[in-house]
Structure 1
Amino acid sequence: MTQAKIVDSHCHLDFADFDAERDNVIARALDAGVERMVTICTRLRNEPQVRAIAERHAPVYYAAGTHPMSAADEPLTTVDELVAMADHPKFVGIGETGLDYHYTADSKDIQQQSLRIHIAAARETKLPLIIHARDADADMAQILSEEYANGAYSCVMHCFSSSAELARAAIGLGFYLSMSGIAAFPKSKELRDIFAASPVDRILVETDSPYLAPPPHRGKRNEPAYAAHTARIGAEVFGLSYEAFAAQTTANFDRLFWKAAA
């Protein structure tokens, strides 16, 4: 496997799936050329554990927020709480936050309130907002646009698998789209076409591990090393060599996640 350096911009190293071999998982990522990883805290009460992983491992950075599917079960955060967390040198992004109406549409009002709080924190800290969007494209585009009009902020649409319309809205605001293992699934041609129609300087790569392992590991536990498989598909989508796509997406990551820049 080529040793072009890439970044896993979104993983969940604190999840119990990795408890037995977290050090080995990180070592395998480095061996695969994944030089940096951002591990994401999805419930703020877990932030100390997520922070500790980033503190213990030089290649690991972290972000924290309230996942939209947990918004109704967790205390509503405040801008001040998020801004205070952002003081940590390895805290590099706000989220993941967003809207998920697939299973949790009944909590959409609190999801929207939580999302706007996270956007305000991203605006204040100048850190990128990390967005989870599922079955909520119209509301997502509207809120992101409305809030951008109130003051600029940066953002990545993590694990992007929504419509071409939401992709265009995000790109139009200067945001980034992140390619996960879903983009590597054989039946995801429509999604690959959405990426192909987007500027390559706005594309990131991620695993969202332990979820969504790309082929040839589909159906198994995902891990940051497998970002390399998704990046190979990304290179094909954009008609680039693996080395060129790796360099481009790494430069994109450094631009957006400036606190974790090489």
Structure 2
Amino acid sequence: MTEQPQITDSHCHLDFPDFDAERPEVIARAVAAGVTRMVTICTRFVNLPNVRRIADENAPVFWAAGVHPMSVAEHPPVTVDELVALSTHPKFVGIGETGLDYHYTADSAEAQQESLRIHIAAARETGLPLIIHARDADDDMARILTEEYRNGAYSCVMHCFSSSAELATAALDLGFYLSMSGIAAFPKSTELRAIFAAAPLDRILVETDSPYLAPPPHRGKRNEPAYTAHTAAKGAETMGVDLATFARATQDNFDRLFWKAAEWRAAA
């Protein structure tokens, strides 16, 4: 009997109301599908207590928090100290998601850039990975990430990566990671798969961004962490390796980047 590969959903939103009716069942289905860990992301500080509670009550779940770039204009300004204070929680493993999104919210570009730099400073101070959301802002994103790295090293994952090859190269050159979501499994995502295929296997993570972006065969439906298995299968095909090899590599990558989650597992 072939052992089921173990994988990690490095980015999901288990606090969203889409999961309110069956959150325990959703987490159980993920574990049954080989998803041994999930990182649930808080995007608004008003939701911090609920996100933290979900992590506290579910052994496979870790959490991260930041101010989503699309919420910056309506969210009270966050400080470095506020973000750093969250890192005292034993299952808090990352800073963000933060970043730049000019698709719908270009009018808040300046505030987004300021917020991004604050999150970078918190990632640098805590040693926790920065979790980046980037959409239609590739030039500014590459510039700010590079400028800030010159001011002091930090680690980072480009969450749900679906940007240009140029931004991928800029991120990889800084030692950052690219996270593969269900978008990479969409039939028309050939250019995106080519970007991942050209990237080093030791810089790839997988995620759902659930409840969004369900991969085939669930496209168009609510996504959930169990479906990371479908993205991992497409990832293995894209990278030209078998699923077991891909799963092991992405687990090692997650452990290296999200070192606090790895230490928790080691101590459990």
Match of 1:25 in 2: 26
Match of 1:96 in 2: 97
Query: C-alpha distance in 2, partners of 1:147/1:220?
Result: 38
Aligned length: 262
Paired position in structure 2 for 1:84 = 85
Percent of aligned pairs with the same amino acid: 77
Alignment partners' CA distance in 1, 2:229 and 2:77: 36
SS in 2 for 1:3: coil
Aligned positions of 1:200-239 closer than 5 A: 200-239=201-240
- Deviation for aligned residue 1:45: 1.6
| C-alpha RMSD of the superposition | 0.8
Aligned to 1:186: 187
**Which residue does 2:247 correspond to in 1?**
246
Unaligned runs of 5+ in 2: none
Q: TM-score, normalised by structure 2?
A: 0.97
Equivalence for 1:34 = 35
Matches within 5 A, 1:154-173: 154-173=155-174
Higher helix share: 2
Partners of 2:194 and 2:44 lie apart in 1 by 33
Superposed, 1:57-76 pairs within 5 Å as 57-76=58-77
In the alignment, is residue 116 of structure 1 matched against residue 114 of structure 2?
Answer: no
Q: Whole-Å Cα distance in 1 between the matches of residues 10 and 135 of structure 2?
A: 19
Q: Which residue of 2 aligns with 1:257?
A: 258
One-letter code aligned to 1:205: V
Cα deviation code 1:155-201 (max 9, x no counterpart): 00000000000000000000000000000000000000000011010
Q: 5+ residue gaps in structure 1?
A: none
Q: Distance in 2 between matches of 1:230 and 1:185?
A: 10
Per-residue Cα deviation, 1:105-161 (whole angstroms, up to 9, x for no partner)? 000000000000000000000000000000000000000000000000000000000
SS of residue matched to 2:103: coil
| 1:3 Cα offset (Å) | 1.4
Secondary structure at the aligned position of 1:161 is classed as coil
Question: Equivalent residue for 2:140?
Answer: 139
